[in-house]
Amino acid sequence: MNSSDLQTILIYALPVIFAITIHEAAHGYVAHHFGDNTAWVMGRVTLNPIKHVDLLGTIVMPLFLYFATKGSFLFGYARPVPVNFSQLRNPKRDMIWVALAGPGSNFIQALVWAVLLVLMAASGVEERFFIQMANAGIRINLVLCAFNLFPLPPLDGGRILAGLLPRGSAQEFLARIEPWGFFIVMGLVLVDIVSIWWLRPLMKIGFDAINLLLTPLILLLR
């Protein structure tokens, strides 16, 4: 590992830890709000990253992929927060809010990193490390937000789709493919379908939304 690789890891480490920790805690908090105490009782509704980090998915796999692909492809995951959807007060409706909580938290984090970037620029901060970290925070969170919204279980988008679909054959189909959903998504990622037809369009929408929301602050600081 050279100094450039080490600096890249340090730049991304904090945004990644915040991104996955708040994402998972948000799922648990919203589930608790709507009546399911599973994650709450297990101590998973917390901002302690140790509770959410998966050794293989959060550390080993991303590092391996970073060095194996020279940074061109990264993937990782945290320990999913357990949710017992049958315990929700209105399972079909509430599962949508529980699923949305994770990607929603990532969009909010991207916005917060963008605000920090604007404030640093307005304050004359030119330290490259902090500027790159803020940019990394924006990009990582928009990637996580968009990727998790992909409408296939076990991703959050699959849960949202299941909640929106009427009960019947469509929901049963989603339930049948869920055990294979992860492998299907990875296959679509490897052939660039997810990237071209899902991630890039949604991330562009995310960047445009952040730019729009930041416009008043930018005008105020001029």
- Catalytic residues, by residue number, are 24
Tokens of 182: 């992860």
Residues of the chain above pLDDT 70, percent: 93
Cα 37 to Cα 118: distance, rounded to the nearest angstrom: 39
CA angle, 172 then 182 then 85, to 5°: 50
Higher pLDDT, 44 or 171: 44
Domains: count for the chain:
1
pTM for this one? 0.92
Tell me what the mean pLDDT of segment 78-93 comes to.
92
Question: Which ranges of the chain would DSSP assign to H, the alpha helix?
Answer: 3-33, 38-41, 61-68, 91-122, 128-148, 156-164, 169-190, 193-194, 200-221
pLDDT at 73: 59
* Contact predicate 178/158, CB 8 Å: yes
Cα 217 from chain centre = 25
pLDDT at 164: 92
Q: Show the domain range for 143.
A: 3-221
pLDDT in tens, 131-145: 999 999 999 999 999
Q: Which residues contact residue 102 at a Cβ distance below 8 angstroms, ignoring those fewer than 6 apart?
A: 23, 24, 26, 27, 148, 156
* Contact predicate 96/142, CB 8 Å: no
* Contact predicate 76/148, CB 8 Å: no
Mean pLDDT of the chain: 89
